[in-house]
Amino acid sequence: MRVIFLCPQYPPEMAHYVRGLAEVGAKVYGVGDTPKAALPPHVRRYLHGYLHVPRILDEDAVLAAVRSWVAGARIDRVEALWEPVVLLAARLREALGVHGMSVDTVRGFRDKEIMKQRIRAAGLRVPHSFRVSSASEAWEAAETVGYPLIVKPIAGAGSADTYRVDDSRELERVLDLTRHVPEVSVEEFVEGDEYTYDTVCVRGEPRYENVAQYLPRPLIARTNEWISPVICTVRDLSQPHLRDGIELGRGVLKALGMGTGFTHMEWYRKSNGEVVFGEIGCRPGGAHLIDQMNFTSDVDLFREWARAVCWEDVQINHSRRYNTAIIFKRALGQGRITRIEGLHPFLRTYGRHVVWENLLKPGQHRRDWLRTLVSDGFVMVRHPEWSSALEIADAAARGVTLYAE
């Protein structure tokens, strides 16, 4: 099995997927804009070949370079799990005659308005929305949608450049902030709890499913620096309040023609029980969500994803033993981390439930919390009982504090 993998070095977690491919027997050929000599050793060791391109986001140039590089050689798969290059991977598949999802299918996962149109056509509930490319169009859309509303990039990922707008004065400010975004979606703001629906699919059929809850919703977390955001996977997926969301997710996969690989979807549950689609990508969730899923089920999804895309099979014990929470921390102050308070008491009390502590250490520069959900590090915990997992997560959120100056 010969697999081209785009961006094997970025984001850093891509190295795990490269490793997974190698472990299920694939020869991995990386393509990226990092010089080969600069690739980390733990990436290079799993690559059978590597093509350095000047700019990975220059799709036409990369397409031409790869076609020349592999001329006459057999390629079985082209894979990409970083959102900005999933469409490029589809273009390469079509150009090389390789099995996998087409450009049109991937566009349904990448373009938020096409996405919602296809899902709406399947009779599933999506937010009311409009694609806009000018301020005048945005004002017209706002008039129809009504406040509050959400402004988000058509081809964005996560909550970057995403804003809640409560009135016309706020819309004017947000339109100024998003002037660099070519197209945005102006859509209905859905009030409710926010969850994920994550899968590893084989030919569109979920072979592994996961649900996680955001605490609080990402839009709230990314507009309040003092919050320590929490994401917690749910051990028991049979709970009645999750059933409709999971069925919604399965319907979305069919509506978009999902093939084989990871998906990451967000959905809302309103106070009246109605479930509403948010958005979906044909790639894994970021911010260590796959690690959480691994700790939830005691599985290696990096390898099982690779087994799915190479051999259309997975070898997963479907037991879910834990609710796994990740707690992201943001330092108080600016500059270098000077101290961490509350960590040792937290570990004394809850250490047996901690599976990963990855906080910045004193002397390291704190990160820009607006540019990365991981912020200044995290603590990951797990527990079989939902209430206990949340209690431990809350203790880390409230009791552990990083200081910078």
- Chain-centroid distance of CA 52 in Å reads 26
- If one counts every other C-beta atom within 10 angstroms of the C-beta of residue 221, the result is 22
> Which pLDDT score, from 0 to 100, does residue 317 have?
81
pLDDT value, residue 159:
67
| CA 256 remoteness from chain centre | 18
pTM over 0.85: yes
| pLDDT level of residue 341 (50, 70, 90 thresholds) | very high
Instruction: Determine the average pLDDT of the residues in 210-226.
Output: 94
Residue 223: per-residue pLDDT:
87
CB 6 within 8 A of CB 33: no
Query: Which secondary structure element, helix H or strand E, spans residue 100, and what is its range?
Result: none
User: For the chain, how long is the longest CA-to-CA vector?
Assistant: 61
Q: Is the pLDDT of residue 29 over 90?
A: yes
What is the C-alpha separation between 315 and 310, in angstroms, rounded?
13
Q: DSSP E strands: which ranges in 138-292?
A: 149-153, 163-165, 184-188, 193-202, 205-215, 230-233, 261-269, 275-281
Specify the pLDDT at position 158: 60
Handedness of CA 265, 266, 272, 273 (dihedral sign): positive
| pLDDT score at 204 | 98
Alpha-carbon torsion 118, 110, 106, 79, what sign?
negative
Find all residues with CB under 8 Å of 194, minimum gap 6, and list them: 213, 214, 217, 218, 266, 267, 268, 278
Query: Which pLDDT does position 155 carry in this prediction?
Result: 77
| Cβ atoms < 10 Å from Cβ of 73 | 10
- Helix or strand or coil: residue 308? helix
Over residues 276-313, the pLDDT tens digits come to 999 999 999 999 999 999 999 999 999 999 999 999 99
Among 25-29, 82-86, 183-187, 326-330, whose mean pLDDT is lowest?
183-187
What are the residue ranges of helices labelled H in 40-126?
A: 41-44, 59-69, 86-96, 103-110, 112-121
Q: Are 210 and 267 in contact (CB under 8 A)?
A: no
Structure tokens at 235: 């051990």
pLDDT at position 371? 86
Terminal CA-CA length for the chain: 51
Confidence of residue 318 (pLDDT cuts 50, 70, 90): confident
Question: Cα–Cα distance between 277 and 226 in angstroms, integer?
Answer: 29
| C-beta pairs of 43-47 under 8 Å, 24+ apart in sequence | 43/8, 43/9, 43/14, 43/15, 43/18, 46/15, 46/18, 46/19, 46/21, 46/22, 47/8, 47/18
Q: Where residue 161 falls among pLDDT bands split at 50, 70, 90?
A: confident
CA distance 288 to 108: 25
One-letter identity of residue 361: K
- Does the N-terminal peptide bond of residue 153 adopt cis geometry, omega within 30 degrees of 0? no
Q: Which pLDDT value is given to residue 208?
A: 97
List pLDDT tens digits, range 362-395: 999 999 998 888 999 999 999 999 999 999 999 9
Contact present, 28 and 46 (Cβ < 8 Å)? yes
**Which residues does 112 contact at the CB level (< 8 Å), separation at least 6?**
129, 152, 153, 154, 155, 156, 185, 279
- pLDDT of residue 157 exceeding 70, the answer is no
